[in-house]
Amino acid sequence: MEITYLTQEGYDKLKSELEYLKSHERIEIAKQIQEAREKGDLSENAEYDAAKDAQGLLELKISKLETLLTNCRVVDTSNIDPDTVFILSKVKIKNVQTNKEVTYQLVAEQEADLKIGKISIKSPVGVALLGKKVGEIAQINVPAGVMNFEILEITR
C-alpha cells in the first residue's frame, strides 16, 4: 500500500471527480448499454461491446480513485519545517550554469501541472529538491549530464 500525500485542494478535487464518476458516468454508461441491448442480437452488436468496455474502464478508474483516496494523507503544513523543501513547498531555484531562475511548488503526482508551476515530488526535479535548504545545491541527472540548481527561497 503506497501512501500518497495530497493538498486539501487536491483531495477535494479527486473526491469530486469520484462522486461525478459514480453519480453521472455510471448512469450514462448504463443507458448506453440498455440502448444497445434494445437493438437486438448482442453477439453482433458493436455498440453493446463498446459500452461494456467503457463500463469496465470506468469501474477500473473508480476503483483506483477509491484506493488512492483511502490511502492518501492530507498534508498539514503547520507540522512541516519551513526551512526545508517538502511537499507543498514553493521553491525558487536558480540554474547554476545559466543563472535562470524559476519557482515551482512541489505537489503529489495527481496534482502536478507544469503550466502553473506545480511539479510532482516524484519527478527528477522534485526528488532532487526534497530535503534541501536555502543555499544548498540540488543535482538533477538529465540525459545531457547533471544540472545544478541552487535553492534561493522556500515558502509555503
Q: What 3-state class would DSSP assign to 92?
A: strand
Q: What is the pLDDT of residues 44-60, one digit of tens each?
A: 778 888 888 999 999 99
Between 42 and 139, residue with greater pLDDT: 139
Q: What is the mean pLDDT of residues 68-77?
A: 84
Domains defined for the chain, CATH in brackets: 4-74 (1.10.287.180), 77-155 (3.10.50.30)
pLDDT at 111 over 80: yes
Determine the Cα–Cα distance for residues 66 and 15; give it in Å rounded to an integer: 9
CB 131 within 8 A of CB 89: no
Number of neighbours of residue 56 by Cβ within 10 angstroms = 11
**Closest alpha carbon to 85 in 123, 35, 129, 120:** 129
For residue 93, how far is the Cα from the chain centroid?
22
Mind giving me the DSSP string for 29-43? HHHHHHHHHTTS-GG
Name the grid cell of 148.
Answer: 545544478
Q: Give residue 3's pLDDT band: very low, low, confident or very high (50, 70, 90).
A: confident
pLDDT at 74 over 90: no
Determine the Cα–Cα distance for residues 68 and 110; give it in Å rounded to an integer: 10
